[in-house]
Amino acid sequence: MSQKVALITGITGQDGAYLAEFLLKKGYVVHGLKRRSSLFNTDRIDHLYQDPHTRDRHFVMHYGDLTDSTNLIRVIQEVQPDEIYNLAAQSHVKVSFDTPEYTANADGIGVLRVLEAVRLLGLVERTRIYQASTSELYGLVQEVPQKETTPFYPRSPYAAAKMYAYWITVNYREAYGMFASNGILFNHESPVRGETFVTRKITRAAARIALGLQDKLYLGNLSAQRDWGHAKDYVEAMWLILQQDKAEDYVIATGVTTSVREFVRMSFAELGIEVEFSGKDASEKGVIIDRDLEKLEALGIDPVHIKLGQTVVKVDPAYYRPTEVDLLIGDPTKAKTQLGWEPKYGLDALVSEMVLSDLQVMRKDAYLKAGGFDTFNYFE
Ligand code: NDP
Ligand code: GDR
């Protein structure tokens, strides 16, 4: 049997990197679409890179953008993919309020461009399409836990664009018989999660505070609740969705929800630092109330930076969203029964992996600082 060929848009992102690795292990030839950038933007996939002069390459990158139809048509024609994973998007909910038109173009119409390219190139029979849909579609709570039949109520330009993307995918499936499926994925994180999403912002800051590189972490809505899983588990679900006999849409989630506040507590606790919250709304703060000296020592952290009574978390309303999604908790029953999908990571393991990875990363900054070099943190 010939090797399967996959095209991943958004390959330089968190999910793109995990999925590329997953598909390469399965023996696929993986093509990826990356945007031109004035700086290198391939950190997450550099370990997969193959020199263009290598014969029989399994990993090939193409310049492209979801806002450019002719580019997408050319790349898809060249690659002739068996499977397209459309992961590219302006994926930050808060930023979508600042760039609503661009977000609609890339996240909404971008999907239409991919679907049309496949149709116009006569690849409907050959190419299966996965669309990266999102739990943000559920927005304002209508029902919990949220499942495939729960009504949508988008609460941001991002979610509204993804709602168009969801339905145009369903429409092309019904109108043209395409194998096109939505994975409605709840939040999923990892050590390579973008640094401005809340989990990574927290694990990064906890590591920096422990190493004396930063005093405080400013956050927005501490009461928001999310169903957080691990990206590694979720890319497996994407693949399973495209291996079915029939194209359908699936919720992918853990079924457990946790507040941002609790995620903060868990992250500091992983480092042997106990944080307690007091106050309300914008005056709420998190203070160090205890430290586990044995744990700190085992992790090589100097307790001098961890002062009892020190405020390490404050609220900055600048991080509030004009309209918020308060509670997400998914019901993955359909994925479990039909796909045989089961997440391997619980929240404890996810937090632990992220915090310990950031501790490693931040140690580099600590060495630089100790050597007299300035380090700059954009996220304080
Ligand atoms: P990231 O933000 O980490 O990655 C997004 C990717 O899309 C990056 O490779 C980015 O390129 C690329 N991209 C952005 N705009 C364009 C464009 N106009 N043309 C081409 N490429 C573009 O997101 P994740 O990996 O976390 O998420 C993957 C997908 O899944 C997204 O569509 C997201 O909306 C969706 N999703 C994510 C969830 C999550 O919890 N992670 C949950 C549900 C859905 P660059 O690196 O150059 O910025
Ligand atoms: P989300 O993820 O909006 O759910 O979208 P994010 O981590 O940005 O926010 C989660 C919740 O935390 C609250 N919050 C903060 N968020 C950020 N980014 N920064 C803060 O300082 C902060 N303080 C509190 C937010 O208000 C929110 O309630 C992610 C993205 O990956 C989407 O692309 C994806 O579709 C959804 O998950 C499922």
| Complex prediction ipTM | 0.99
Tell me what pLDDT residue 339 has: 98
Atom of ligand 2 nearest to the CA of 199: 7
Tell me what pLDDT residue 325 has: 98
196 lines ligand 2 (CB under 6 A): yes
Instruction: Indicate which residue of 9, 12, 127, 134 is catalytic.
Output: 134
Q: Whose CA is nearest to atom 47 of ligand 1?
A: 35
Angle at 143 between CA 139 and CA 147, to 5 degrees: 85
The dihedral formed by the CA atoms of 334, 340, 346 and 351, expressed in degrees to the nearest 10: -90
Atom of ligand 2 nearest to the CA of 156: 3
153 noted as active-site residue: no
Count of C-beta atoms within a 10 Å radius of residue 32: 28
Tell me what pLDDT residue 242 has: 98
Tell me what pLDDT residue 374 has: 72
DSSP tag of 19: H
DSSP tag of 327: B
Measure CA 233 to chain center. 12
Nearest to 312 by CA among 198, 218, 199: 218
Pocket test for ligand 1, best of 9, 21, 46, 91 (most atoms within 8 A of CB): 91
Q: What is the 285 CA–ligand 2 centroid distance (Å)?
A: 19
d(CA 267, CA 11): 28
Q: Do residues 229 and 313 lie in contact, with contact meaning Cβ atoms separated by under 8 Å?
A: no
Tell me what pLDDT residue 378 has: 56
Rg (CA), the chain: 22
134 noted as active-site residue: yes
Tell me what pLDDT residue 375 has: 66
Q: Whose CA is nearest to atom 36 of ligand 2?
A: 187
Tell me what pLDDT residue 379 has: 55
pTM above 0.95, yes or no: yes
CA distances to 36, 77, 267, 361 from 131, rounded to whole Å, are 23, 19, 32, 32
Q: What is the 95 CA–ligand 1 centroid distance (Å)?
A: 13
d(CA 38, CA 374): 23
| pLDDT by position in tens, the chain (length 380) | 689 999 999 999 999 999 999 999 999 999 999 999 999 999 999 999 998 898 889 999 999 999 999 999 999 999 999 999 999 999 999 999 999 999 999 999 999 999 999 999 999 999 999 999 999 999 999 999 999 999 999 999 999 999 999 999 999 999 999 999 999 999 999 999 999 999 999 999 999 999 999 999 999 999 999 999 999 999 999 999 999 999 999 999 999 999 999 999 999 999 999 999 999 999 999 999 999 999 999 999 999 999 999 999 999 999 999 999 999 999 999 999 999 999 999 999 999 999 999 999 999 988 888 888 876 665 55
Q: What is the 93 CA–ligand 2 centroid distance (Å)?
A: 7
Residue 29 has which token pair? 């030839």
d(CA 192, CA 194): 6
- Cross-strand pairs, 189: 230
130 noted as active-site residue: no
Q: Which residues line ligand 1 (CB under 6 A)?
A: 9-10, 12-16, 33, 35, 37, 41, 65-67, 87-91, 106, 132, 134, 185, 187-188, 194
197 lines ligand 2 (CB under 6 A): yes
Amino acid identity, position 42:
T
d(CA 216, CA 206): 9
SS (H, E, C) 66-133: CCCHHHHHHHHHHHCCCEEEECCCCCCHHHHHHCHHHHHHHHHHHHHHHHHHHHHCCCCCCCEEEEEE
Instruction: Indicate which residue of 83, 136, 189, 353 is catalytic.
Output: 136
User: 257 — alpha (psi -120 to 50), left (phi > 0) or beta?
Assistant: beta
Tell me what pLDDT residue 260 has: 98
Q: Whose CA is nearest to atom 9 of ligand 2?
A: 198
Residue 227 has which token pair? 């169903």
Q: What is the 355 CA–ligand 2 centroid distance (Å)?
A: 18
Q: What is the 232 CA–ligand 2 centroid distance (Å)?
A: 19
Tell me what pLDDT residue 318 has: 98
